[in-house]
């Protein structure tokens, strides 16, 4: 009440709490315009993305960019193919590049991003060996008798049996 009286006495006719100012700053996520009396830093269409805003800003992405990436991947994790549950897929990036739009590789689920991919330490040779292992496992050749009888391992085993 006292502020109102002081402002009337000064002749400004404005309240001292800043409510007379109209701040129409753009949305901090998409850069679009907000409604006239919309509070906060994001517009109403970006409000569901507030919890994920730090990740989007870190890589210079908008919610539209994220959705385009998700659509390009069929709405699933790129590696295992699982659909996102209650949360969103994580933004995977190349650690050898500076963080930004150019370092983004795709969207992965938590398991692939934090457990599966780090096991290979992003080493292409190890991933290729794992792929060869899955396509042509050595046990199939050895146990089916293709290589087992004449292999060096079989010769060592025979020598151990003969000496022991």
Range of the domain at 31: 25-49
Query: What pLDDT, in 10s, does the model give residues 71-112?
Result: 899 989 888 888 887 778 888 888 888 888 888 888 998 888
Residue 79 domain-assigned (yes or no):
no
**What gap in Å lies between CA 109 and CA 88, rounded to an integer?**
8
Q: Tell me, yes or no, if the pTM score tops 0.75.
A: no
Number of domains in the chain: 1
Closest by Cα among 160, 154, 59 to 106: 59
Query: What pLDDT, in 10s, does the model give residues 105-156?
Result: 889 988 888 888 777 766 778 788 888 888 887 777 667 665 555 666 667 7
Structure tokens, 110: 């938590």
Cα 162 to the center of its chain, rounded Å: 58
Residue 69 domain-assigned (yes or no):
no
């Amino acid at each position: 009440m006292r502020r109102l009286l002081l402002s009337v006495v000064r002749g400004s006719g404005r309240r001292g709490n800043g409510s007379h100012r109209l701040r129409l700053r753009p949305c901090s996520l998409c850069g679009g315009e907000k409604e006239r009396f919309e509070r906060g830093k994001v517009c109403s269409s970006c409000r569901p993305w507030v919890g994920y805003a730090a990740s989007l800003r870190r890589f210079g992405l908008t919610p539209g960019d994220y959705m385009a990436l998700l659509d390009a991947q069929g709405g699933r994790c790129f590696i295992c193919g699982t659909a996102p549950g209650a949360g969103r897929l994580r933004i995977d990036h190349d650690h050898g590049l500076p963080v930004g739009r150019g370092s983004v590789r795709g969207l992965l689920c938590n398991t692939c991003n934090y457990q599966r991919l780090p096991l290979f330490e992003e080493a292409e040779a190890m991933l290729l060996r794992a792929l060869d292992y899955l396509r042509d496992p050595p046990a199939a050749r050895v146990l089916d008798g293709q290589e087992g009888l004449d292999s060096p391992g079989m010769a060592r085993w025979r020598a151990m049996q003969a000496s022991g």
